């Protein structure tokens, strides 16, 4: 929240660290440091409100602002004993942006402001260093012309380079005072020629222009793009910090540097940074000269180093956070120009937070709630490329499955399976327009997946996240030529078998093979998640379809299985049997196929129950439309047509035509809204009866062998309470019959998915008939939004780019629409059945913002892919702390 | 609501017409008639609550019931001066069902109860007519054995037929007393042999068995089917009426008949009915003997006729409703056995109601609210043949059910049901000798019914009138050969499956298929709808895409167009142009196609605006996915594959492959949830900009020519307010630009369809950005239910049959789910924007139950197909009256 204030200009000694909204992060920290007695050059901050005023005024500075600025300059003049514009001993200042949230390098800065043809004489007189003074002046003219007068900086750099060429030197420092003075004249002439105006010789005009330029830079393109990518609101505005200059380039006892109080890469507790002697700060940032390690400073100036070490310690203790500190040494005297919380890798974030808890600096709750983002925790877990050469970038797409892998292009699942069988160590990357359930085995045989269509919740993305396959989706720059067996993008064409590298975390495809490294799960991560478990009240379960996935989920801390999809069990070598079942034209043939499937299916569940040791295992009855198990109509059509052309009497034709007929008769206009889910269970009850017999049979078997079991059988796609009743009545009977014939009773539940809007709207009725709800937010979002994730690729990106949607609703729960429905549903359901267990098993179950929302609704658990279980544990704890905070 | 009462048995003199819930319709009317002094044979009614008690008791009569029955019998005995079971002068009674709503012929009846081997002697002694007595006895044994003892009636009829053969006679009346006495013995023996029990000789046991049988018949199959089709709840129960017998078959001064106080076919104010002398009532209903017109009775017995005419007048005045009266003349004395509101055709219903308003019998509001159902109004609009070629006349019969239909002959109800299930669009005409209640489902599956026997009050005629099935009865020219599966008349023989045409209004059967058209609206219908318009507050608009449809809608009373679908304008000869547009690969090519479409599209709107003369015309911007305008993928695949086989160098291939690529790249998994509606407008804005330019251009043109215009431009498929904003901003500009270049300003509005659940959930936001909402309940229902109408065929029927859904939600708005969403939407939207216009343009807009719901939500209008506008006008008025009634 913005503090409201009429005071537009705040001296550093008047502010504090709590005033980030008004003074920006930098200004608030400068104020705080000033007030805790650190050596900060005096200055003041113009508030973020002025920035907003500037824009609502139609880009005009508010009347009277410059009077307040003049008054503040007066105070600074008094503190420094110098006067702004004084030809004898001029006060010079820097003018910098400073928004609430750091936006490094995005906005404009002007240094050495206050130098003119007149005042430079005073600077020369005071420092006795004309070279230094003209160097400062040429920097000012260049920056000012670029930022305020719109003459590009590069042109000035070019002039300087030309001069160095003329002089036959390579280093800036080799250019003497006279040549720099000439350069300043040349610069001013260039500015005049290219802007039609003179570089201002009135220091107050200089200052006003600079302040306005900083405000203007709030809305420059790169700042807008950055804010969007970082979710920073446009109306926060930037503050402007005006601070007296100190110079790191006045000689060899001057210098400048940047240092972190701990390593931002690993989190190790050691000063981490670099400095340059006889240089301005921009020289460090620009990387023109190679800076030295901060620790070398202790050799060069032990006293200054000791003072800096002490200040670093004071700042970290004061802020109870790792600090990123900018400093300047002017003639042997240390100044702190800026401090802020240091950016860090995920690994460092975790280690620093855990260490600080052990050091007693922060509490466990603070470590969880404020220090670690789910994103940074995630980073600690996925392999990453150690090199990312820009010139090898082939294309960009949606970062659907994080992680990194290199491999050889393969264009069909069948080939991927074959190649992986031939060489289990083959590194393959499956490249497809899109994937469907038939591609699962091919995807699992690949190191990474790249699709040219489909979004973050497309089939490929779902599988990617669940199985932890680095995946890029919807990469529409890529076109695939199946005839030529090539892929191309941006004029580059690669053959099947060529190497590419997939950075699924960033969504970037590289040509060639890049080195990557696997993450170690550190002790700190384990400890942090243990604390998260102690704090959170929301359960964290996992979506797992196989015993291996279940074991992985358990190892990552899952407390149950929230979604075990049974349709994957109908793929692979069971496909022929399943096709027999679907195509059966007699009851006998159907039952025969079911009888053969039963023991296989039962074995699937036995293995999972054994792994889960009595923890809840939520098994969803078969959900997809049956035609997904049959060949594709277009493939069959082409095959039949070709055979007919070649030989109309070909013996294979009759069988193929039968299959084609079956596929065509099962064709659906909108399969998502067709004969699937519980509708199948009513239309063709044999399959789910077989499934329930298998589930309960398996449970009995495992329990008889001494392991506890707790199956929760989930009926998908219920829209009307009567569907649930009809099915449950019949399946309860199957369950009872099975237990009777096994001679044992197991503890099981029947529940339903809430994935159809109508189910949420009539939750009270449905809740009275069942023991648990599990939100299937994938379908619920698609139906509530009327958007099919498979088809959204073409417009969803446009929608997000054009700000039509605040974000992709298949990524984070859309709270206004889908969320409102969920909230009504939970309230109505709990009122009707207070003991109802409510969870979520859609992809949103692993999304931190959605987890927070689920917690706020009072759900019992979230279920997500095993990979995301640690993140969910953290997010659930954070949700608890955030709610506790709000409830205060 | 059931009245609660401990009194199980009500004498006729104790009840009244208001007690239909408890006493059933028949019982309540018998009580009412008794109390207004009409000659009703004494009796009593066992309540509907006893029926429910019977079922909740596990099909056992409540304890003590028979004691109450005995007491009531005592009162009847006293009134009649005869005793039940008295061998000297026995009281005989009828036992009949009587539910709250009439269910003619669906439940069981037993007559002549109280006759035994002993009491028959008393009856013979009293009447001196042994033949009559044994005839009554054989009827009792047959009915009782059939209804109570489960020995089918047909077997007894067969025995009687055999006897007549032996005797060499054809008429029942030719069989003498002795033969009938022998037949009674044979009947009893048959009953004993086939049920293992004797026909009871204890009259109280007879009575108890009959009462129970009536209750049992409440749940027989045909009664359940009937209730379902008529929306009658299963838990209403039936009452049982026990009434002393009077006999129409004691001789030539006896008789029985049925008459309506006005014509149930046309509504004409004249007695309408028929009677048979020396016959029981069942003889009239069964249609075995052809009865005489009621008016002939005045010749045969002027006094009785005059008495009947007077009673008919009294009853109609008393009930203020057309009455269907059953009477019996016993030895010259008139008895009224039953009266009830008469079933009638829609045409009659309208005429009677309008006439009664003119006669001052009822108010306009009563005419609208209680006398005309939307269904019956619909019947007045039944199609009629436009050509009636005399040389195709096959036969003539009784015009029992108005309307006209052509269809294929089917000779059994079972076949009709089967064929209709195989093809819901099958046009079938059921041809039968006569129909009975078991034929109901077969009749409902047929377009028309033709019977060779039975009169205007036969079962077939009753059903025809009630369900609006064109029906010809008693067409005895027709003979049916069930072995050969043919029908013939006048030397023409037609096979099952051949086409015939039924003119049920005229009673003429034609060979072959005749063209038909919608009827002219009668003066009464016009008057009634005018009253409806005065009463209703809900607007009635129409869905119309062409000037012709718009004119038709106006003629039927529509006040505006609620949905003008523009995609139809892109079909026909415009397809090539539209394909060019879709497949354009340069901006120029696209614009060129748009420029060609613009004047065509503009002309479309000019014509519609001219017709509508300033009334609102709601035009929906293009909605369907673009691939709907391209050829089908499977067709292209086959064509390309065939050409490739024939000649891989065929010149046509490259163009075809380009089209195939385009079609494949536009393929969508779930087109309903894909790139369509407003998403298209954002993805490819050119089309809707062209449409808006055409709409506003046309409006300017028409207005300049002196005709007022009011286009309402509707943006489909909005799910997020930002979609609406994005599009509206751009289209407003197009509208403004167009008006500027036309030099005129028109009155137009932008609004949105509410057809995505999320739009309803976020209605407040959306309402603030627009001027009207129009519920697209087709899509809203499909998405809220997660059911695609195109794909629901396979399971929706099963769902309705199995009572999983109360009805097909695409027919009537599902109030619990979709309706709840609509109600939230209207409330939120109106709170945010009180002046918002809200309507509905989905199919539900023409469904009376949905119209009532829309009225209850406070919508401004419903829009439906022109055909349904009159029904919507009536339903809207009824909704108003019903609400006023509830609000009382």
Chain B residues touching A718 at Cβ < 8 A: none
Sign of torsion over alpha carbons B827, B833, B836, B841: negative
Alpha carbons A114 and A121: distance in angstroms, whole number = 12
- Which residue on chain B is closest to A639 by alpha carbon? B641
pLDDT for position A2:
42
Q: Chain B: nearest CA to A582, how far in angstroms?
A: 15
Q: Which of B645, B672, B682 sits opposite A673 (nearest CB)?
A: B672
Q: Which residue has the higher pLDDT, B187 or A806?
A: B187
- Decide if pLDDT at B621 tops 90: yes
Contact A761 B817 (CB under 8 A): yes
Q: Chain A: nearest CA to B784, how far in angstroms?
A: 5
Chain B residues touching A820 at Cβ < 8 A: 761-762
CA atoms within 13 A on the CB side of B530: 8
Question: Cβ of B16: how many Cβ atoms within 10 Å?
Answer: 17
Confidence class for position B343, pLDDT limits 50, 70, 90: confident
Contact A673 B786 (CB under 8 A): yes
CA dihedral B5, B9, B12, B17 (to 10 degrees): 30
Contact B722 A803 (CB under 8 A): yes
Chain B residues touching A719 at Cβ < 8 A: 785-787, 817
pLDDT for position A172:
81
- Decide if pLDDT at A449 tops 80: yes
What is the H or E stretch that residue B68 is in? helix B65-80
Alpha carbons A155 and B18: distance in angstroms, whole number = 100
Radius of gyration of chain A (CA): 33
ipTM of the complex: 0.78
Chain B residues touching A669 at Cβ < 8 A: 671-672, 788, 790-791
- Average pLDDT, whole number, for chain A? 91
- Which residue on chain B is closest to A816 by alpha carbon? B762
- Decide if pLDDT at A551 tops 70: yes
Task: Cite the beta strand spans of A535-601 per DSSP E.
Answer: 539-543, 561-565
Chain B residues touching A657 at Cβ < 8 A: none
Contact A817 B723 (CB under 8 A): no
Q: What is the pLDDT of residues A555-580, one digit of tens each?
A: 999 999 999 999 888 888 898 999 99
pLDDT for position A288:
56
Confidence class for position A458, pLDDT limits 50, 70, 90: low
Q: Is A700 designated active site?
A: no
Q: Which of A671, A673, A791 sits opposite B675 (nearest CB)?
A: A791
Question: Cβ of A229: how many Cβ atoms within 10 Å?
Answer: 8
Q: What is the pLDDT of residues B538-551, one digit of tens each?
A: 999 999 999 999 99
pLDDT for position B251:
83
Task: Cite the beta strand spans of A630-722 per DSSP E.
Answer: 710-715
- Decide if pLDDT at B475 tops 90: no
Look at the block and give the residue holding tokens 């302040």. A211
- Element counts in chain B: helices (H) and strands (E): 34, 33
Contact A669 B672 (CB under 8 A): yes
Contact B779 A785 (CB under 8 A): no
Confidence class for position B4, pLDDT limits 50, 70, 90: very low
The string of DSSP letters for B126-184 reads HHS-HHHHHHHHHHHHHHHHHHTT---HHHHHHHHHHHHHHHT--SGGGS-HHHHHHHH
Q: Which of A641, A814, A818 sits opposite B641 (nearest CB)?
A: A641
Q: Give the active site residue among A841, A844, A855, A864.
A: A841
CA B193 to chain centre: 44
CA atoms within 13 A on the CB side of B200: 16
Proportion of chain B above pLDDT 70, given as a percent? 98
- Which residue on chain A is closest to B791 by alpha carbon? A674
pLDDT for position A457:
52
Highest-confidence segment of B202-211, B439-448, B788-797: B202-211
- Decide if pLDDT at A92 tops 50: yes
Chain B residues touching A717 at Cβ < 8 A: 786
Q: Which of B642, B761, B817 sits opposite A762 (nearest CB)?
A: B817
Contact B674 A799 (CB under 8 A): no
Contact A817 B719 (CB under 8 A): yes
- Decide if pLDDT at A444 tops 60: yes
pLDDT for position B464:
78
Cα–Cα nearest to A562, from A513, A506, A617, A606:
A617
- Decide if pLDDT at B1 tops 50: no
Alpha carbons A796 and B688: distance in angstroms, whole number = 19
Q: Chain A: nearest CA to B779, how far in angstroms?
A: 9
Chain A residues touching B795 at Cβ < 8 A: 675, 679, 682-683
Alpha carbons B126 and B131: distance in angstroms, whole number = 13
Give me B811's structure tokens: 């027919």
Alpha carbons A178 and A185: distance in angstroms, whole number = 11
Chain A residues touching B642 at Cβ < 8 A: 641, 645
Q: Is A841 designated active site?
A: yes
Q: Chain B: nearest CA to A780, how far in angstroms?
A: 9
| pLDDT, mean of residues A617-629 | 93
Chain B residues touching A758 at Cβ < 8 A: 784-786, 814, 817-818
Cα–Cα nearest to B440, from B234, B221, B287:
B221
Q: Catalytic residue positions of B?
A: 459, 841
Instruction: State the best of B625, B727, B758, B832 to mutate against chain A, taking most chain A CBs within 10 Å.
Output: B758
Contact B788 A670 (CB under 8 A): yes
pLDDT for position A462:
67
pLDDT for position A229:
64
- Which residue on chain B is closest to A823 by alpha carbon? B761
- Which residue on chain A is closest to B762 by alpha carbon? A817
Q: Are B214 and B107 in contact (CB under 8 A)?
A: yes
Confidence class for position B806, pLDDT limits 50, 70, 90: confident
Instruction: State the best of A435, A452, A666, A670 to mutate against chain B, taking most chain B CBs within 10 Å.
Output: A670
Contact A669 B814 (CB under 8 A): no
Q: Chain A: nearest CA to B681, how far in angstroms?
A: 11
pLDDT for position B332:
92
Confidence class for position A160, pLDDT limits 50, 70, 90: very high
């Amino acid at each position: 929240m913005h503090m409201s204030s009429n005071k537009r200009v705040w001296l550093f000694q008047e502010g504090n660290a709590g005033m980030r909204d008004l003074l920006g992060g930098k200004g608030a920290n400068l104020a705080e440091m000033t007030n805790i007695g650190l050596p900060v050059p005096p200055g003041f901050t113009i508030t973020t409100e002025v920035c907003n005023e500037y824009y609502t005024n139609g880009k005009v500075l508010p009347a009277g602002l410059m009077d307040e600025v003049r008054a503040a300059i007066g105070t600074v003049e008094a503190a420094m004993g110098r006067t702004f514009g004084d030809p004898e001993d001029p006060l010079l200042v820097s003018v910098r942006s400073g928004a609430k949230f750091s936006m490094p390098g995005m906005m404009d800065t002007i240094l050495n402001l206050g130098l003119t043809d007149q005042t430079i004489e005073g600077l020369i007189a005071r420092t006795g260093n004309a070279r230094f003074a003209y160097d400062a002046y040429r920097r000012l003219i260049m920056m000012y012309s670029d930022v305020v007068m719109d003459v590009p900086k590069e042109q000035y750099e070019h002039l300087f380079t030309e001069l160095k060429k003329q002089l036959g030197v390579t280093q800036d420092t080799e250019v003497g005072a006279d040549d720099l003075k000439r350069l300043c004249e040349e610069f001013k002439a260039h500015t005049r020629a290219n802007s039609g105006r003179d570089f201002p010789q009135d220091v107050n005009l200089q200052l006003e222009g600079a302040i306005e330029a900083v405000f203007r830079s709030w809305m420059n393109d790169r700042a807008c793009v950055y804010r969007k990518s970082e979710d920073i609101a446009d109306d926060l505005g930037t503050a402007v910090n005006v601070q007296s200059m100190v110079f790191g380039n006045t000689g060899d006892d001057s210098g400048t540097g940047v240092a972190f109080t701990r390593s931002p890469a690993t989190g190790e507790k050691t000063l981490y940074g670099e400095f340059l002697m006889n240089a301005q700060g921009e020289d460090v940032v620009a990387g023109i000269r190679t800076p030295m390690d901060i620790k070398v400073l202790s050799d060069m100036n032990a006293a200054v180093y000791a003072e800096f070490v002490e200040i670093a310690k004071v700042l970290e203790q004061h802020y109870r956070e790792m600090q990123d500190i900018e400093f300047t040494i002017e003639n042997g005297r240390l100044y702190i120009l800026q401090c802020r919380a240091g950016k860090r890798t995920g690994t460092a974030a975790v280690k620093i937070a855990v260490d600080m808890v052990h050091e007693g600096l922060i509490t466990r709750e603070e470590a969880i709630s404020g220090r670690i983002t789910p994103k940074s925790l995630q980073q600690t877990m996925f392999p990453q490329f150690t090199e990312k050469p820009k010139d090898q970038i082939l294309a960009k797409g949606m970062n659907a499955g994080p992680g990194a892998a290199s491999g050889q292009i393969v264009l069909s699942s069948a080939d991927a399976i074959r190649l992986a069988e031939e060489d289990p160590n083959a590194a393959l990357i499956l490249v497809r327009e899109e994937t469907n359930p038939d591609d699962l085995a091919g995807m699992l045989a690949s190191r990474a997946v790249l699709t040219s269509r489909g979004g973050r919740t497309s089939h490929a993305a779902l599988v990617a996240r669940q199985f932890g396959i680095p995946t890029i989706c919807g990469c529409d720059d890529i076109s695939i030529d199946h005839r030529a067996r090539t892929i191309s993008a941006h004029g580059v064409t690669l053959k099947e078998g060529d190497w590419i590298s997939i950075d699924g975390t960033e969504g970037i495809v590289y040509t060639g093979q890049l080195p990557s490294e696997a993450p170690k799960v550190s002790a700190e991560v384990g400890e942090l998640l243990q604390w998260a478990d102690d704090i959170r009240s929301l359960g964290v379960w996992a979506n797992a379809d196989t015993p291996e996935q279940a074991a992985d989920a358990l190892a990552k801390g899952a407390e149950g299985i929230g979604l075990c999809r049974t349709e994957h069990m109908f793929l692979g070598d069971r496909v022929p049997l399943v096709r027999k079942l679907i195509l059966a034209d007699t009851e006998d043939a159907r039952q025969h196929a079911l009888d053969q499937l039963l023991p296989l299916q039962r074995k699937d569940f036995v293995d999972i129950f054994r792994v889960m040791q009595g923890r809840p295992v939520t098994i969803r009855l078969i959900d997809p439309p049956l035609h997904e198990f049959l060949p594709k109509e277009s493939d069959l059509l082409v095959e039949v047509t070709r055979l007919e052309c070649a030989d109309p009497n070909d013996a294979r034709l009759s069988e193929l035509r039968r299959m084609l007929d079956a596929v065509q008769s099962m064709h659906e206009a909108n399969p998502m809204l067709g004969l699937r889910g519980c509708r199948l269970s009513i239309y063709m009850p044999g399959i789910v009866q077989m499934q329930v017999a298998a589930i309960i049979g398996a449970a009995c078997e495992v329990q008889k062998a001494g392991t506890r079991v707790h199956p929760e059988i989930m009926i998908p796609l219920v829209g009307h309470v009567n569907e649930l009743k009809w099915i449950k009545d019949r399946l309860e009977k199957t369950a009872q019959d099975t237990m009777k014939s096994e001679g044992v009773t197991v503890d099981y539940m029947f529940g339903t998915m809430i994935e159809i809007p109508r189910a949420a709207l009539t939750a009270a009725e449905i809740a009275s008939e069942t023991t648990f709800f599990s939100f299937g937010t994938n379908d619920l979002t698609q139906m509530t939004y009327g958007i099919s994730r498979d088809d959204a690729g073409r417009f969803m990106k446009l929608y997000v780019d054009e700000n039509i949607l605040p974000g992709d609703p298949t990524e984070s729960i859309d709270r206004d629409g889908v969320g409102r429905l969920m909230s009504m549903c939970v309230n109505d359901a709990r009122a009707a059945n207070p003991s109802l267990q409510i969870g979520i098993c859609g992809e949103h179950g692993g999304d931190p913002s959605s987890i927070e929302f689920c917690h706020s609704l009072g759900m019992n658990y979230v279920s997500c892919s095993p990979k995301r279980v640690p993140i969910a544990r953290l997010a659930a704890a954070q949700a608890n702390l955030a709610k506790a905070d709000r409830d205060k």
